[in-house]
Amino acid sequence: MSDATSSRDTMAPIRRPRRWHIAVFLLPAFLVYSAVMILPLIETLRLSLFNTVDGEPAFVGLANFKVLFGDARWAADFWNALKNNVIFFIIHMLVQNPIGVALAAMLSIPKLRFAAFYRTAIFLPTLLSFVIVGFIWKLILSPIWGVSPYLMDLVGLKSFFSPWLGKPDTALIAVSLISVWQYVGIPMMLIYAALLNIPEEVIEAAECDGVTGWSQFWKIKLPLILPAIGIISILTFVGNFNAFDLVYTVQGALAGPDKSTDILGTLLYRTFFGFQLQLGDRSMGATIATVMFLIILAGVSLYLFVIQRRMRRYQF
């Protein structure tokens, strides 16, 4: 290209008008997204480094985090909420995703009758709000109504019934299972879609090679849907560490009984807005939000840079 510059004016780069339309197309989304999402997020992260000292906002470095992790007033609540949140996530991974995969595997059996009906029905709870879901289950599990003991009596398990939501040692599991009940439709649908994407020829080739039934699922289909399982895992992770509504609806802002269902979302809410006698604390709220941000960021990075890189994506 060096010879181009040396010669006549026709060789000079052509000047052309600015393409303003690109900016016009991008601007509205960019402005709203930046102003309402990104800047507040950054501001929240910044606020976590400030606190009120003698009535004046002052830069305190990582002091807020030190308080959150170590101070007697905060640390117990925080570690409790974090522990509960981890349990909440583990229950989802162990219950929601395997059930979702199993349902999807059954639904994708070729020529299965009523498949569309099952699919539609099982996905229904996913569309309902946490508020509805929370209250419905609160009623059903309520010992006052007696629906659960009645149903358990039908299968001879009446003696096992107890007011799970009211007991500290079972409340978290119960709430997690309610959440699983609501969200199982999402992994089911994503896995179902991934299974439908496997070309028929591959399955037919497996049939010809004598790989059928269960071993076909384990040896052929499961490896091919691993990327989809990766996606649902990260979606579950982000959703779980950001959860709030269900616990708030079922157990209230205090996440009772005795904070046994307290997760980071409810802790953030109580900290930021206060409840009953405790006043809201903006700086500590921002600090908790920052911790949640870092946890989610770590999870997403792990997924994007480690899991997704290692995982083979198959081109059909």
Partner 1 sequence: MSKARASLSRTTLVHLALIGYTLIAVFPVFLTLINSMKSRNAIFRNPMQLPTTETFDLVGYTTVLGQGDFASYFQNSFIVTVAAIALVLLFGAMAAFALSEYRFRGNTLMGLYLALGIMIPIRLGTVAILQGMVATGLVNTLTALILVYTAQGIPLAVFILSEFMRTVSDDLKNAGRIDGLSEYAIFFRLVLPLVRPAMATVAVFTMIPIWNDLWFPLILAPSEATKTVTLGSQLFIGQFVTNWNAVLAALSLAILPVLVLYLVFSRQLIRGITSGAVK
Partner 2 sequence: MGSLQLKSVRKSFGPVDVLKGIDLDVKDGEFVIFVGPSGCGKSTLLRIIAGLEDATSGSITIDDQEVATVPPAKRGIAMVFQSYALYPHLNVKDNMGLGLKQAGTPKDEIDRRVAKASAMLSLEKYLTRRPAELSGGQRQRVAIGRAIVREPKLFLFDEPLSNLDAALRVNTRLEIARLHRELKATMIYVTHDQVEAMTLADKIVVLDAGVIQQVGSPMELYNRPANLFVAGFIGSPGMNFIDAGRLGVSDAKTIGVRPEHVALSRDAGTWQGKVVHVEHLGADTIVYLESEAIGTLTVRLFGEHHHAVGDVVFATPSADQTHRFDAVGQAIR
- Exactly one of 4, 43, 278, 302 binds partner 1 (CB under 8 A); that residue is 43
Instruction: Work out whether 274 is an interface residue with partner 1 (CB under 8 A).
Output: no
Please give the distance of CA 152 from its chain centroid, rounded to a whole number.
31
Partners of 296 in the β-ladder: none
Structure tokens at 285: 């709220």
DSSP 291: H
Contact string 177-196 vs partner 2 (x = CB under 8 A) = --------------------
Distance from C-alpha of 300 to C-alpha of 307, rounded to nearest angstrom: 10
Confirm or reject binding of residue 94 to partner 1 (CB under 8 A): no
CB burial readout 134-148, b (16+ within 10 A) else e? beebbeebeeeeeeb
Phi, psi of 113 (to 5 degrees): -80, 150
- Positions in 203-262 near partner 1 (CB under 8 A): 213, 227-228, 231, 234, 238, 242, 244-245, 248-249
Task: Pick what 127 binds: partner 1, partner 2, none; C-beta below 5 to 8 Å, kind-dependent.
Answer: partner 1
Q: Between residues 15 and 310, which has the closer beta carbon with respect to partner 2?
A: 15
Nearer to partner 2, 1 or 72 (CB): 1
Q: Answer yes or no whether residue 135 interacts with partner 1 by CB under 8 A.
A: yes
Strand partners, 21: none
CA atoms within 13 A on the CB side of 285: 16
* 13-42: contacts with partner 2 (CB under 8 A): 13-17
Position 2 contacts partner 2 (CB under 8 A): no
Per-residue x/- track, 71-90, partner 1 (CB under 8 A): --------------------
Structure-token pair, residue 94: 């162990």
At residue 45, φ and ψ (nearest 5 deg) are -60, -40
Comparing CB distances to partner 1, the nearer of 174 and 286 is 286
Residue 289 makes contact with partner 1 by CB under 8 A: yes
Nearer to partner 2, 5 or 159 (CB): 5
**Residue from 130, 104, 158, 145 nearest 266 by CA:** 130
